[in-house]
Amino acid sequence: MSRPMLEIVALEKTFGELKVLRDINLRVATGEMVFVIGPSGSGKSTMLRCCNRLEEPTSGAILIDGKDIVGCSSSALNRMRLEVGMVFQGFHLYPHMTVVANVMLAQIKALKRSKDEARERALAMLDRVGLRHRAETMPTQLSGGQQQRVAIARALALDPKVMLFDEPTSALDPELVGSVLAVMKDLKDSGMTMLVVSHEMGFAREAADRVVFMDGGLVVEEGPPEEIFANPKAERTQAFLSRVRA
């Protein structure tokens, strides 16, 4: 395996008495797409949110391109976050700005790009997700699938090294899921490193390089999708997969 772009080392997270993550170790190589599946409450979203410290790890290290983001200063953290794009289940577009302004904001305020430069880049990213023609509309006038693609463009505009997806299609109507997955597939084909928490098993089977099964705050099993889906070794993985297939 080549040098990992994202490496999670001995990550632990507790909320009070509750141990949500226990000794998570995970490496995502450059250009790799890793899918994290598991029952709700298994800690997969918490793990993902630790990767840009939206959730503060209790202990362990998160290395982005070799640099540890745990324990760094808040200004260093803001710079590191530029390298880690995040896509949320609920999109979280800014409702008081146009679509293009949504994609421009962090470019101008955090990356210090000029307005013209940011706008050009924003339009290019919107073009990439097929929404350049909606640049001047307000986010709430878009469908859920379109909003999620704008959210992806907003993250991409900062030229991240890694993209995190937190159940990106779970809030979408079934007929809108495909458009978001198509954008993710295109991203993968362009060599983006991606860590995805999702229930889209079909997409995982088709596009993921590796699937990680989590349960009870632990990584129970990981491997290529064919292997995990066809011959899961662990009992818990078998039980989970038979439940979601049923």
Task: Report the site for other proteins in 122-141 (rule: CB under 8 A).
Answer: 138, 140-141
From residue 111, give the alpha-carbon distance in Å to each of 49, 58, 85, 220. Answer: 22, 29, 13, 39
Contact call for residue 155 and other proteins (CB under 8 A): yes
From residue 121, give the alpha-carbon distance in Å to each of 29, 118, 127, 164, 179. Answer: 27, 5, 10, 21, 21
Contact call for residue 90 and other proteins (CB under 8 A): yes
| Window of 10-18, 22-30, 105-113, 182-190 that interacts with other proteins by CB under 8 A | 105-113
Contact call for residue 233 and other proteins (CB under 8 A): no
Alpha helix stretches (DSSP H) within 82-173: 99-109, 115-128, 144-156
User: Exposed/middle/buried for 131, CB within 10 Å: 0-12, 13-18, 19+?
Assistant: buried
For residue 232, the minimal CB distance to other proteins (Å) is 33
Contact call for residue 188 and other proteins (CB under 8 A): no
Beta carbons of 220 and 237 less than 8 angstroms apart: yes
Task: Please pick, from the candidates 23, 29, 30, 54, the single residue that binds other proteins as defined by CB under 8 A.
Answer: 54
For residue 106, the minimal CB distance to other proteins (Å) is 4
Contact call for residue 96 and other proteins (CB under 8 A): yes
For residue 161, the minimal CB distance to other proteins (Å) is 13
Contact call for residue 15 and other proteins (CB under 8 A): no
Contact call for residue 69 and other proteins (CB under 8 A): no
Task: Please pick, from the candidates 19, 22, 92, 161, the single residue that binds other proteins as defined by CB under 8 A.
Answer: 92
Contact call for residue 67 and other proteins (CB under 8 A): no
Listing from the earlier edge strand, what are the strands of the sheet with 18-29?
Answer: 18-29, 4-15, 59-64, 67-68
Let me know how many helices (H) and strands (E) the chain has, helices first: 9, 10
Contact call for residue 169 and other proteins (CB under 8 A): no
